[in-house]
Structure 1
């Protein structure tokens, strides 16, 4: 079989498209695909334990992504995790008694913040605070409690 320039070009295009596909996949997996800044407002939530929450983790409400985590800091006075949430402006009708919880997507998936709307007629504003929060459930701690209870019951 004869080796032609057309074959070389086709193989080169195939390899280049494969590399471009891997690059796109890496951006999607790492949450770096959104290079543009959306028009958003920031609210703060304090958690006793934010678990494996990371900057750029999704913020969702009713299963719909409405924003992302913009920063996570530690407050040395209250020993709490201070999480700033960047919420898209189109979702500016969240009641000010909204609750925030840290959940895990699946058994070993990434962690995200879930917002559950309250019933207040006042809305969260830029710089607002979410007062009612529920920390992340630490799998190791839950397993330890289960094992401790099982050992006590056997006595």
Structure 2
């Protein structure tokens, strides 16, 4: 009987450990079971999207305000089109704000940082950021420097 109790306790311990690992994996990957809540969609066009991808972070003043839905190539302008879902609670982003691709740390993930403007009108569902700044491409900078195309 004591052996059976020990086996049950060990089994429960292994199940709890598996559940904890699943929880940590979901937290690290950014996946959740809860719905995202009410959002509205805005677009931005970049010459170089760098390492942006779906579920990437969109922040403003260091606070996450949304996430990237998709990154595609616009066939007309040959620019990267980034579609973002912004939380409906953040409904007063000035229309002249700019979207900048930044890197978290030296070698960290890339995300979009919204730099607010001063316009009295706010971005609405389906609007586009007209001022953007593409990702900093270190490999291209090193290549240009090495080939003497670094500029004056």
> With structure 2 as the length reference, what TM-score do the two structures score?
0.90
5+ residue gaps, structure 2, are none
SS at match of 2:54: coil
Distance 1:113 1:34, change over 3 A: farther
Q: Deviations over 1:98-123 (max 9, x none)?
A: 10011111122211110010011110
Q: Deviations over 1:5-33 (max 9, x none)?
A: 22212211111111111111111122112
**Residue in 2 aligned with 1:110?**
109
Distance 1:146 1:74, change over 3 A: same
SS at match of 2:89: helix
**Residue in 2 aligned with 1:37?**
36
In 1, Cα distance between the equivalents of 2:12 and 2:145? Answer: 56
Deviation at 1:146?
Answer: 4.3
Farther-moved stretch of structure 1 (88-97 vs 7-16): 7-16
SS at match of 1:90: coil
**Residue in 2 aligned with 1:47?**
46
SS at match of 1:76: coil
SS at match of 1:83: strand
Distance 1:117 1:34, change over 3 A: farther
**Residue in 2 aligned with 1:73?**
72
Aligned residues: 148
> With structure 1 as the length reference, what TM-score do the two structures score?
0.88
5+ residue gaps, structure 1, are 150-155
Deviation at 1:147?
Answer: 4.0
In 2, Cα distance between the equivalents of 1:34 and 1:47? Answer: 31
Runs of 4+ in 1 over 2 A off after TM superposition: 142-149
In 1, Cα distance between the equivalents of 2:131 and 2:14? Answer: 52
**Residue in 1 aligned with 2:21?**
22
